[in-house]
Structure 1
Amino acid sequence: MTIREQTQAMEREMLAPWAALSSNTRGRQRPEEECEMRTPYQRDRDRIIHCKSFRRLKHKTQVFLSPEGDHYRTRLTHTLEVSQIARTIARALRLNEDLTEAVALAHDLGHTPFGHAGERALNALLPHGFRHYEQSLRVVERLEKDGRGLNLTYEVRNGILCHTTGLEADTAEGRIIRWADKIAYMNHDIDDAIRAGVLREEDIPQSITDVLGSSKTQRITSLIRSVVENSHEGKIAMDEVTYRAYEELSDFMYQAVYLNEYAKREERKVPHIIHSLFNHFRNPDYLPDYMKHIAEEEGVETASCDYVAGMTDHYAVACYQDLFIPKAWNLGL
């Protein structure tokens, strides 16, 4: 037996009956020869970690736009925290950790620069709208590796597409990501808001802290425990009391942080930047060569959207400045 076959035999022996076995994957868009060492889901995880769009996440906004300080979350650190929480839940439920991790690591690959402000700006520009989870799937299927995509398994691609609202993923592992995403962003957003001076821990209502706890560690532990204890036979859920406390916390965060004028004042500049870049790159002559085949095959609006959505915050600002801000010039005196 190869190492991969030994791993797959262990999956059949140790995982829950409703877990997604890598030996039963529905396969890839393009058939490939199996790896001797890694299962299909392990290969997917490795491809995601090594792809360019994953590296760009380190310079994309999570909540606070261009914060000063080294300890605020980025889209990359958010992704890693989602992965850690998702793997903890998967392990406790005897589900496939490799599949869970692959979906978690890829779920935000299509996110725009400037966080959800950038997503809203692109959504307003396109007739069919823009949704980051659909773009994340497009990244792995179409945009990575010069248009060849990463050729991931069906289960990973399905988990990426279904990680937010709407249809549930086909696998229990994919369904975990929706909960892990909620748990991660709510708690690290609180942590970042406290660091930014926008929020104090004692501002959180007691009706919430009585259920979830009064620290980040306690909240994360309470939420994970609720998911683990209330998930059965592949259905992933929280108990009603904990979920109501989570929803109350979500409502509180929207008022205290997500709509906070001080925390979000720079976001009012985002639509103009995104609109300007999008309109500029609708001229295919201005697109980089590797994006021109998208314009030819799917139209210039799609190519412009793909290019702008893939930018980091830093690159989008630098590109805008280069294109639209007058430069100083030397008269030779």
Structure 2
Amino acid sequence: MTVSERTQWIEEQTLSPYAALSKNTLGRDVPEQECDLRTPYQRDRDKILHCKSFRRLKHKTQVFLSPEGDHYRTRLTHTLEVSQIARTIARALQLNEDLTEAISLGHDLGHTPFGHAGERALDELCPGGFRHYEQSVRIVEKLEKNGTGLNLTKEVRDGILCHTKGTEAMTLEGRLVRLADRIAYINHDMDDAERAGVLLESDIPADIKSVLGGRRTERIDTLVHSVVENSQDGQIKMDPKVQEAFDRLHSFMFESVYLNPYAKAEEKKVPNLIGTLYSYYLKRPEHFPQDMCLIVEQDGIERAACDYIAGMTDHFAIQLFQDIYVPKSWNI
């Protein structure tokens, strides 16, 4: 028995009947020789962890555009927090941690520079629109590894695609990641808003704090415990009272932070920057990097421009804009 076979045997003996067993995976589009150390879901986790798109998340906005300070969340730290919360719940519910982790690490690979402001800008520009969760799947299926993709299992790709609103994932692990994503971003965005002076802890309505707790760690602990204690019969859910308070906290964050004119003041510059870069590459396809030339040939110049800009970090997009359009001093 190999190490991976032993792991799959342990899964079969210990996991919930509702868990996705790695031995039952629907597989990959392109068959690969199995690893004798890692299960298919463990391999998917490692493929994502080592890909270029994952590394770029460290310089992509979560909520505050290019904030001054070392302690604000980025898209990478958000991803890691989602993974930690999702794995904690998965372990408690005896679900497949490896599948949960792989989906968590890959769920935001397709996010644009400048957070949701960049996503909205590309959505208006790109034929057919732009949605980051679809782009995340496009990255792992095609854009990574010079056009060959990561060749992930169907369960991981499905969990990535369905991590936000709309159709639920086919696995309980995928549905769990959707909830963990929401638990993570609401609480850490609140923490960042307090650090930025946009929000005070005392601003949080008392009736919400009485249910969830006043501090970030208390709220996350309450939410995670509620999921673990109330999920059953293949359903991921919270206590109704906790769920209602959590929904009200989400609405409070939209009113106080996500739509706050002070916190979002710089976002009004994003559509012009994104739109200018998009138009530039439509007119000058010869300026695409080499790895985008194949996309131009296969999917057209508009799709290539969308893919290239979506993959940029905040700093790279700003620097590229400056290099193209801002005059430089001439030195003798």
Shift of 1:148: 0.4
| Paired letter, 1:65 | L
Q: CA RMSD in A?
A: 0.8
Shift of 1:259: 1.2
- Equivalent residue number for residue 289 of structure 1: 290
- Equivalent residue number for residue 33 of structure 1: 33
Q: Give unmatched runs, 5+ long, in structure 1.
A: none
**Per-residue CA distance 1:204-231 (angstroms, 9 max, x = gap):** 0011001101111110011111111221
| Paired letter, 2:293 | K
Structure 1-normalised TM-score? 0.98
1:70 alignment partner, SS class: coil
Retained in 2: the 8 A contact 1:86–1:176?
Answer: yes
* Equivalent runs, 1:1-333 vs 2, <5 Å: 1-282=1-282, 283-330=284-331, 332=332
**Per-residue CA distance 1:157-181 (angstroms, 9 max, x = gap):** 0000000000000000011011000
CA–CA separation in structure 2 for the residues paired with 1:127 and 1:317: 24
Shift of 1:239: 2.2
**Per-residue CA distance 1:50-108 (angstroms, 9 max, x = gap):** 00000000000000001110000000000000000000010010000000000000000
Q: Which moved more, 1:121-130 or 1:105-114?
A: 121-130
Q: Which moved more, 1:129-138 or 1:245-254?
A: 245-254
Shift of 1:264: 0.9
Retained in 1: the 8 A contact 2:82–2:177?
Answer: yes
**Per-residue CA distance 1:127-186 (angstroms, 9 max, x = gap):** 311000000000000000000000000100000000000000000001101100000000
| Paired letter, 1:146 | N
Shift of 1:267: 0.7
| Paired letter, 1:317 | I
CA–CA separation in structure 1 for the residues paired with 2:232 and 2:127: 41
Structure 2-normalised TM-score? 0.98
Retained in 1: the 8 A contact 2:127–2:302?
Answer: no
Q: Give unmatched runs, 5+ long, in structure 2.
A: none
Shift of 1:326: 1.1
Retained in 2: the 8 A contact 1:119–1:131?
Answer: yes
**Per-residue CA distance 1:288-313 (angstroms, 9 max, x = gap):** 11101101111100000000000000
CA–CA separation in structure 1 for the residues paired with 2:4 and 2:281: 45
Shift of 1:232: 1.4
CA–CA separation in structure 2 for the residues paired with 1:122 and 1:33: 38
1:144 alignment partner, SS class: helix
**Identity within the alignment, %:** 66
Shift of 1:233: 2.6
